[in-house]
Amino acid sequence: MTGRVKTTLTRWWTEWIRSVLLIVLLITSFRSAVADWNDVPSGSMKPTIFEGDRIVVNKLAYDLKIPFTTQRIMAWDNPRRGDIVVLYSPADGKRLVKRVVGIPGDTVAMSEDRLVVNGVTISYAPPTSELVNGLTPGSKGKLIATENFGKTGHAVMVPSGAHCRPAFAPVRVPDGAYFVMGDNRDESFDSRYFGPVSRKQIVGRATHVAASVDPERHYRPRWERFLHPLR
């Protein structure tokens, strides 16, 4: 390598490459430990989240992790019933978006398509337009209902009549784990299949829909869902 070429490479490294690498490292570290977005490819969280939504994930909602790892540095909160969380599936490691329905120590069951937590059947009511954001899906054989956790309520899509999925027996959520389910109860791969999720597998809490497109309409923007809060 000639001195001239070496000088040129050194200048590129000093003026460009090093700066670009530093920016990439900062951005990826921020996305890994502070906040990120997550594309939603499936309808397992309908009618709360739709295919084509891009959701904001607050990774500081519960703790601070070392970037690019699941190792916690500090923790200040834990997921609560009703939180929408992003997690790594215990089955295959894929990132999923689900709702927490059981926290450590809870006993969770489902009877006649109604969620039962600690022996108490969760109350249901007709949905409000605010909950479904005016986008009630017209899936055949499905019903929309408001599922109430304490003072909060969220819309869920439940099967009707012959479409009902069999109930499951009570499951106790072990310490350090959470029982998660999709709001589209009959079309969600969740804790009913892979069991409770370890606390360290939870990435953060989903807070808003950042942007949304409709895959069935040539990816047209759903403007009404931009910056839509999730609950």
Q: Which are the catalytic amino acids?
A: 44, 98
* DSSP calls for 83-115: -EEEEE-TTT--EEEEEEEE-TT-EEEEETTEE
Structure tokens given for 11: 């200048």
Bridge-partner residues for 98, per DSSP? 85
177: closest CA among 103, 106, 118, 116? 103
The CA distance from 24 to 30, in Å, is 10
Strand (E) or helix (H) holding 15: none
Buried b (16+ CB within 10 A) or exposed e, 196-230: bbebbbbbbbbbbbbbbbeeeeeeeebeebeebeb
CA-wise closest residue to 82 among 115, 113, 109, 56: 115
Write down how long the chain is: 231
